[in-house]
Structure formats: structure tokens, C-alpha cells
Amino acid sequence: MTRTNPIAISIEVCIVQKLTLWYIVAESPAAECGAWSQILKTILLVLVFVAIAAVAAGAAALTMRGGEPPADAIPASKPSRERSEDASMNSRATVKKVDGALRKISRAAYDVTPLARARVDELARKLKPEEAEVILSKGTERAFCGNLVDNHKDGVYVCRLCGLPLFASDAKFDSGTGWPSFFQPFDKDHVAYVNDSSHGMVRTEILCARCEAHLGHVFEDGPRPTGLRFCLNSVSLEFVEKGTALPESSRPIETQVAYFAGGCFWGVEDRFQQTPGVIDAVSGYMGGRVENPSYKQVCYENTGHAETVKITFDPVVITYKELLAKFFRYHDPTQFNRQGPDYGEQYRSAVFASSAEQEEETRKFIEEQQSSNPKFKARKIVTQVVGADRAGKFFPAEDYHQDYHAKHGGHCAMPEDE
């Protein structure tokens, strides 16, 4: 969905008119004959066609509307990466629970599986008539009448129907339109988009991704960094002030965190992003001596850090031991201070345990692998195991390292998963 300035189109039309006029003059009997005149006419004719094509493309872009804002314009806002400004995070895939049911988890660790119609109808019984008119019948409250337009408190705005967090106060701005406005959602997977051609207009409607409650519309005239304006109805939202406990329906699922270093973090992150049960994987640095290091420092200044991937996972879907098994298949734990063609301490194999239980389970797992796995019969596992008390802080890597393979394609040379 590309925006084009109407003024620019007007200028292009003017250029077409001028070029056409010049061509007519060049064609007139009064025009000077000869080779130079023919060359001039040819050049003018080519320029006319080029200008006409530009006007047509601009007009098409001006009128084209899509059912979803540009994918690279909607950041996954809440899984905060200290340095990340990336706006094109991948949607989380649907994963399978141990009981066989399917559910979808956002990167912010919320269950965004669409609710059954019976559950939506049950939730709708609590709505007041004016709320139901907007939320269920896609109505619009009057401008400047909503109770959240001038709300400047810190907190989170949740769906009035199902409680899913939709927008945060740090993304709210005064648009002057009379409706609460935000430049990005709490998490991109918490909002759904639908083409809306009602009232003689073509717009993009926004819905709660979990219960399909009508929220408002999104427009491309917002502030940076997204350039978007999510225009909301106050009655579609409830505000939970910072410091106040979230209701149960607005809480994330219980997750755990693991830290694995296995060579270049691009490939390790990519593999885990595709692992069912993994909610998020972030590339970064861990196990070193320098605060908040840069990639250049890690590579050339002997900081002691290892390229590490922080993995947030759902223990209902995948256990820590299962993650360990994946990790030992995704890299070669017998290579010391290297992984394939990459040499150096930053490419070492390491597990930074986030708890004493993880440390104990990791050491036991390595012992089992060393003694019983034929793959390691003649090769010693050199994976470093560092306990939570000594692991130090995890520092997210620069933005261009995040989701590298998803953005650019390709893959690091890594062992195939079995």
C-alpha cells in the first residue's frame, strides 16, 4: 500500500502538458527542418511517454488500498530489544500443545488463538448497548467523546471484550482527530486487518486478533517511526494503569528462558525461530567482561563474549531438555572456540544456564550424550556450561543481526536437524 503525494502527480501532469506542447511546436511547419529537428522531436516523444507512465503509476499508487498495512511498517513493539528498531518481525507460527490442541502465541508471549464463537458470545453479554454497537456492529463513537482520548497515564490498553493487550501508552500520540491514536500496536500479532469498503470509502479496519472485536481503522498519516495512525474507539478498550495488576485475561502465558551459544548466531537463531514451542529468539552477546558490547568489540577486542541466542519458550509445548537436544543437533559441540569456518572465542559452544536447575540438567545431559551417543564416542564435547550466578547479563545484538535469515534468506552452514 504505497502513498503518493497528489501534488507530485499534478506536477507530473503539468510536465506532460509542457512536453506535448513542445512536440507539437517541433512538428509544426514553422519549425526548422533538418536532422537536429528530427532528433529533438524523437527526444520529446520519448519524454512524453516516460512522463505519462509516471503519472499513471502515481495515480495507481494513490488509489491503491490493501487489507493490511505494509508488513515492514508494523513493529512487534513489546518484546523490547534494547537496541532494536526493526519493524518487520515475523509472525509466530501456530504450535501444537501436548494435548493435541492448536494455539498461536505472540512474541510478547500471549495466547492469540482465535476464540470460538460460543466464547465470544459469552463475553459479549457483559457489554453495554453503546459498547456492543461499536465492538460487535462496527460502529464509531463520536469524535472527542471517548473517555480515553485525553488519557496521558502510563499503562496498557486492552481489548474490552477479551482482555488482550492491544496498545501501550508509550505509542500513544495526540492526532487531533478526536479518537485515541497510536503509532504501533503492543504486538503486531495482537491486531488483525480487514478491508473495509463501507460508507463509500476504502479503508483498513483493525480488529482484536483473538476475539475479532472491532477497534477502529489504521491510516498512513502517523508519526515516525512507523508512519501509521491506529485510530481507536475508546469503548473498544480498557485502560490498565502501570503498577496495577493485569486481569487474568490480560496476562501472558508462563514462559522460560534459555541461552545457547553455538557459533554464528544468525543460523542458531533462525533454527530456533522455526522450532515449535519457541516463542522468540534474539541474537546477542553473553559471557564476557564488557558492558553492552558492540559487534566490532566482540570480534576484535577480546571482550570474552560469545555470540549467544536468548530463547523464550513455552514449557507446555517444549521442555528445556528437548531444547538442549535441538541445540546439540543444530551445532557441533565438539569444536573448541570455533564453529565450521568461524574461528575465535566468540564462536565457542556454551550454555548459559538461567537457573540452578537448568545448569544441573545441562551437565547431566552432556554426560549422557558423551557416554551413550555414538556420534560423540570418539569426540569430546567441549561445550562450556556457565551457571546463572556467573553467566552475566545478556546484551541484544545490533538490529541488523536480528532475524537475519528471515530478512535476507540463505543460511549459515549448520548440521542438519535429525
Grid coordinates given for 316: 507446555
Q: How many CB atoms lie within 10 A of CB 355?
A: 14
Query: CB under 8 Å to 51, separation ≥6 — which residues?
Result: 12, 15, 16, 19
Which member of 159, 208, 211, 231 is catalytic? 231
231 is catalytic: yes
Instruction: Report the alpha-carbon distance of residue 138 to residue 93 in Å, rounded.
Output: 28
388: burial class by Cβ within 10 Å (0-12, 13-18, 19+)?
Answer: middle
Which member of 159, 264, 299, 412 is catalytic? 264
33 is catalytic: no
Query: Cα 254 from chain centroid?
Result: 21
Q: How many CB atoms lie within 10 A of CB 100?
A: 6
Secondary structure element (H or E) that encloses residue 385, with its range: strand 384-386
The crossing angle, in degrees rounded to 10, of helices 6-27 and 35-63 is 160
Are 240 and 246 spatial neighbours (Cβ–Cβ below 8 Å)? Answer: yes
Phi, psi angle pair for 338, to nearest 5°: -170, 165
SS3 category, 409 = coil
Catalytic residue list: 231, 264
